[in-house]
Amino acid sequence: MRLHDHLSAALSQGNEEVGHRELGVGVEVDFRGEYVTVIAPFDGSPAARAGVKPGDQIVAIDGKPVRGERIDKLVALMRGPEGTKVKLTIIRGNAADPHEIELTRETPSAPDVTGRLAAPGVGYVRIAAIGPKTPDRVKKEVADLTKAGASSFVLDVRRTAGGPIEDGIAVARLFVSKGTLAMREVKGAERATISAAPGDGAVTQPAVVLIDTGTSGAAELFAAALSGNKRADLVGERTIGRAATQRLIKLPDGSGLWLSTARYLTPSGAPLHEKGLEPVVAVDEPDVEFGQPAPATDPTLDKAIAQLKKAA
């Protein structure tokens, strides 16, 4: 079942656990609020190729305003057979200057984990999505880059949103050998501590983690676990603060209620949901106007490499 189908099923059944869901054009979105807000576009997706960025707001789908519309109707407008097109009207910052883009729906094809040498001795691992197979893929990528000469790593979870939270914690276990990885709060129950276990911490090389406003959910738990255990510095922008298990309850009038059934905290017990993570080294992502090519340089990656060299 594709993620957007899961969302539709939740609306009809009334109690399936859902969060932000991937749609046919490759975006993670938040349906709460006046408009549909883009959490992050997926690597290589139609939305990413069109220049959609975290924080963009979708105000109309195929010319139909989204304000006040039911979530299931919005999902139905976004969904469609592979190869069909959908027009999105998007605002970025200035509501008086909307942009209309036409995207072709397609099946996601970009790999969730890739890697390369970013500088002499520095391996770069891009974690574009998090799922059950991500820990093994990250472990393999780190091993391959180590053989190629990497002695430290940049772990990039910018624009990484969605995925099961437990899988984000599983990726963190590769890098944290002992200590608290996260805390979980459920109403009516004692706070649960999620700790590293024997055999965790297979990757011991120095690391930094790249974050931004599109870092959400499982990726935030991963970043928080490494940062909270002083395993890696965070470089980039503040994260969005989406670290809860939520259910969408359909009400009799057709509206919906988001119900948080559990929320996650940092290893120190600090709030993460709706708070986010602050980077140690703050770097603003370059502003890019709609229709303009992406920058040829990556200042956040450059700062991360400098941070690794500084700590060496």
Q: Are residues 121 and 86 in the same domain?
A: no
Q: Are residues 83 and 151 in the same domain?
A: no
Instruction: Write out the two tokens for 225.
Output: 């676990």
Q: Are residues 194 and 254 in the same domain?
A: yes
Q: What is the pLDDT of residue 11?
A: 25
Residue that finishes a domain, picked among 87, 104, 121? 104
Q: Are residues 121 and 85 in the same domain?
A: no
Query: What is the average pLDDT value for the chain, to the nearest integer?
Result: 87
17 falls in which pLDDT band (50, 70, 90)? Answer: very low
Q: Are residues 168 and 285 in the same domain?
A: yes
Q: What is the pTM of this model?
A: 0.87
Q: What is the pLDDT of residue 312?
A: 73
Average confidence (pLDDT) over 274-294: 87
Higher pLDDT, 156 or 163: 156
Q: Residue 225: which of 135, 132, 100, 140 has the closest Cα?
A: 135
d(C-alpha 112, C-alpha 126), whole Å: 8
Q: Where is average pLDDT lowest: 14-28, 56-70, 253-267?
A: 14-28
Average confidence (pLDDT) over 90-102: 86
Residue that finishes a domain, picked among 42, 75, 104? 104
Instruction: Write out the two tokens for 218.
Output: 């499982």
Q: Are residues 128 and 264 in the same domain?
A: yes
Q: What is the pLDDT of residue 294?
A: 79
Structural domains counted in the chain: 2
Q: What is the pLDDT of residue 2?
A: 28
Q: Are residues 48 and 140 in the same domain?
A: no
Report the 3 state secondary structure along 6-22: HHHHHHHHCCCECCCCE
Q: Are residues 96 and 128 in the same domain?
A: no
Domain interval for residue 87: 3-104
What would you report as the CA-atom Rg of the chain, rounded to the nearest whole angstrom?
Answer: 19
Q: What is the CATH number of the domain that holds 123?
A: 3.90.226.10
SS3 74: helix
89 falls in which pLDDT band (50, 70, 90)? Answer: very high
Q: What is the pLDDT of residue 3?
A: 31
